[in-house]
Amino acid sequence: MATALITGASNGIGLELAKVHASKGDNLVLVARNKSKLDELKSELEKQYKITVYTIGKDLSAQNAAQEVYEETTKQNIQIDYLINNAGFGDFGMFVETDWNKELQMINLNITTLTQFTKLYLQDMLKRRSGKIMNVASTAAFQSGPTMAVYYATKAYVLSFSEAVDNEVSDKGVTVTTLCPGATKSGFQAAAAMEESNLVKGKKLPTSKEVAEYGYNAMMKGKTVAIHGLLNWIMANSVRFTPRAIVVKLTRKIQDKAN
């Protein structure tokens, strides 16, 4: 029986990914700050699917959080077959006005912790010559993003890093998939204070469940880059053929607050 480690599993896409893996008979290691929420999910999934769920309450924006989680799973003799780096958050506003401490936490979580998790568990996977990793980026990864400058830059890192590592290991029995959802119905927008942006306000957004199911299937197929939704795929790929100055202006228009 395989085991999946999922970060940011207390809500949104992470929670739905936990449900998908549980429904396939996978045991789970769930990591998030809110341990009580994870424990509620543990009870629900163990009862429904007869699997084993191990929960870890951890602020993953803290230094060496990934190392601490890795040491705990090693101590518990839990082999991680699927690593899903889903935890992440954004912030909305002009860079000069946004809060530096929040941005530092964002960089630590979206970039540093994700990278360290990947390094630690990848080494074990390569020894076994089996395993799958999914790093959750965003369609934001394909261009710069005025009013969410740091968030877009962190997701560009995730995409570039993950593609490179997948190339290094795909002939060694391990794959790295980058999941790139567009705007999704989840708690992300509220956390990023962007409910009033043109990107979100009044739009019918895909659900976290739809994105999670798509991501699971992409990871299992070993797809390198998985962009959810045809329109998102077209937009992400069209930026390659459009001058960057135009792309950044269009992104600003989409991101700005709706009138």
Question: Does residue 22 have a pLDDT over 90?
Answer: yes
pTM for the structure as a whole: 0.88
- Which of 151, 152, 214, 216 is catalytic? The answer is 151
- Total of domains in the chain: 1
Mean pLDDT of 221-228: 96
Token pair for 105: 């936490």
pLDDT over 90 (residue 151): yes
Provide the CATH number for the domain around residue 143.
3.40.50.720
pLDDT at 176: 98
Q: Judge contact between 156 and 225, C-beta under 8 A.
A: no
206/172 Cα distance (integer angstroms)? 35
Query: Containing domain of residue 170, as a range?
Result: 3-255
Q: Using an 8 Å Cβ cutoff, are 12 and 89 in contact? A: no
Residue 245 corresponds to which amino acid? A
Both structure tokens of 98: 């946004």
Higher pLDDT, 259 or 48: 48
Task: Judge whether residue 199 has pLDDT over 60.
Answer: no
For this structure, is 121 an active site residue?
A: no
